[in-house]
Amino acid sequence: MTQLKNDRLLRAIAGEPVDATPVWMMRQAGRYLPEYRALREKAGSFMALCQNADWACEVTIQPLERFDLDAAILFSDILTIPDAMGLGLYFEPGEGPVFQHRVTSKADVDALPELDAETDLGYVMRAVSTIRRELNGRVPLIGFSGSPWTLATYMVEGGSSKDFRGIKRLMMESPEVLEALLDKLAKAVTDYLNAQIRAGAQVVQIFDTWGGALSPHAYQAFSLRYMQRIIDGLIREHDGRRVPAIVFTKNGGQWLETMADCGADCLGLDWTTNIGTARQRVGDRVALQGNLDPSTLYAPDDVIRSEVQRILAEWGQGSGHVFNLGHGVHLDVDPDKAKVFVDAVHELSQDYHQF
């Protein structure tokens, strides 16, 4: 077992004392960094970049060379599972991910293959093991997947959607078909995340990007229930350490009490929820992650620092907080602004961790 030089993130999630609040950023490896754009051009396509272990490793580590981050997150995509199921993922400039084939019927669901993550998504596992080796204990590595509901939305809609009309129609007209799809995806995600853990991921996050588009009842029935099933099936101890699970439902702040019972160690918050109020609502049942509005990184440095200070003050004293953005870094953010943010978290949070 490689000794972690910086385990601040793991200790904060466990509620153990830390000297400063840990910080990482969703999409911290990506298009806002010029070094990423150069490598992406060399690779020729986004998926080619993901599928080359050395390139994926380089992209993962790029932000750690610029910023004093407390975690690395695997460079990959949430749609690797449906791509491996044969739906033909490609990226349309200006439109985001698109699938050549949609899932719209029971026959489509039945035709989806059962995946073996070790083989069907072996390029992800090679990337994970390569990154762990190169990190050499520098910081923990976060692995991830999309939630079954979020993956299903892309698979049914055929890409991004503004109103989720296709999948909601399926949910209303043929809930048993949607449930069969979600069941198949939950099994695939469990296998996928466990394979990442065996390959070296020390934390895993489930991105439930579109869970907030559901009603409270539908969220529990079609999103949270399947994430709980995944968490129940995860490897929770590996390489001599507990492997924490983070659940991030965008626009899910209204359901925190229910989410806190799903088995996750940490819940991610977007910027629409006051983190101090959220802490009062969940108590010490789970750690909380978030939740600076990513658009704050367009602001002057003193505004970024004041917003960091405000969120730290809302949280208050003690561990259990992982600082992050409320969603991913915007592609046109100046990297120097991200540095101001990360440095402010470490500097300003020390007063909240006197022990």
Q: CA–CA separation, 54 vs 60, rounded Å?
A: 10
**Gyration radius of the chain's alpha carbons:** 19
Q: Choose the weakest-confidence range: 18-22, 43-47, 194-198, 321-325.
A: 43-47
| 333 has a pLDDT exceeding 70 | yes
Look up 154 and say whether it is catalytic.
yes
Cβ atoms of residues 343 and 68 within 8 Å: yes
Considering the chain, what percentage of its residues have pLDDT values greater than 90? Answer: 92
| 1 has a pLDDT exceeding 70 | no
Overall pTM surpassing 0.75 (yes/no): yes
Q: CA–CA separation, 272 vs 277, rounded Å?
A: 11
**Residue in 7, 8, 36, 154 annotated catalytic:** 154
| 124 has a pLDDT exceeding 80 | yes
Q: Does residue 150 have a known ligand-binding role? A: no
> Dihedral (C-alpha) 156, 158, 164, 169: value to the nearest 10 degrees?
-40
User: Of 345, 333, 306, which Cα lies nearest the Cα of 27?
Assistant: 333
Please, which residues bridge with residue 321 across strands?
Answer: 288
Q: Does residue 31 have a known ligand-binding role? A: yes
Q: Does residue 209 have a known ligand-binding role? A: yes
Q: Does residue 111 have a known ligand-binding role? A: no
Look up 40 and say whether it is catalytic.
yes
Mean pLDDT, residues 290-316 taken together: 98
Mean pLDDT, residues 47-69 taken together: 97
Look up 279 and say whether it is catalytic.
no
Taking all residues of the chain, what is their mean pLDDT, rounded to a whole number?
Answer: 95
Query: Cα separations (Å) of 51 from 88, 101, 273, 314, 320?
Result: 15, 21, 36, 41, 35
Q: Does residue 330 have a known ligand-binding role? A: no
How confident is the model over 67-119, as pLDDT tens digits?
999 999 999 999 999 999 999 888 877 667 889 899 999 999 999 999 999 99
Q: Choose the weakest-confidence range: 42-56, 92-106, 252-266.
A: 92-106
Cβ atoms of residues 72 and 135 within 8 Å: yes
| 45 has a pLDDT exceeding 70 | yes
Write down the pLDDT at residue 94: 66
Backbone angles phi and psi of 277, in degrees to 5: -65, -40
Considering the chain, what percentage of its residues have pLDDT values greater than 70? Answer: 99
Q: What residue ranges define each of the domains in the chain, with the CATH number in brackets? A: 8-352 (3.20.20.210)
Q: Does residue 56 have a known ligand-binding role? A: no
**Residue in 68, 77, 108, 183 annotated catalytic:** 77
Q: Does residue 77 have a known ligand-binding role? A: yes
Write down the pLDDT at residue 170: 96
User: Of 253, 277, 226, 245, which Cα lies nearest the Cα of 326?
Assistant: 253
Strands 241-242 and 237-238: antiparallel
**Residue in 7, 8, 11, 27 annotated catalytic:** 27
Q: Does residue 225 have a known ligand-binding role? A: no
Write down the pLDDT at residue 160: 82
Greater confidence (1 vs 37) lies with 37
Write down the pLDDT at residue 166: 95
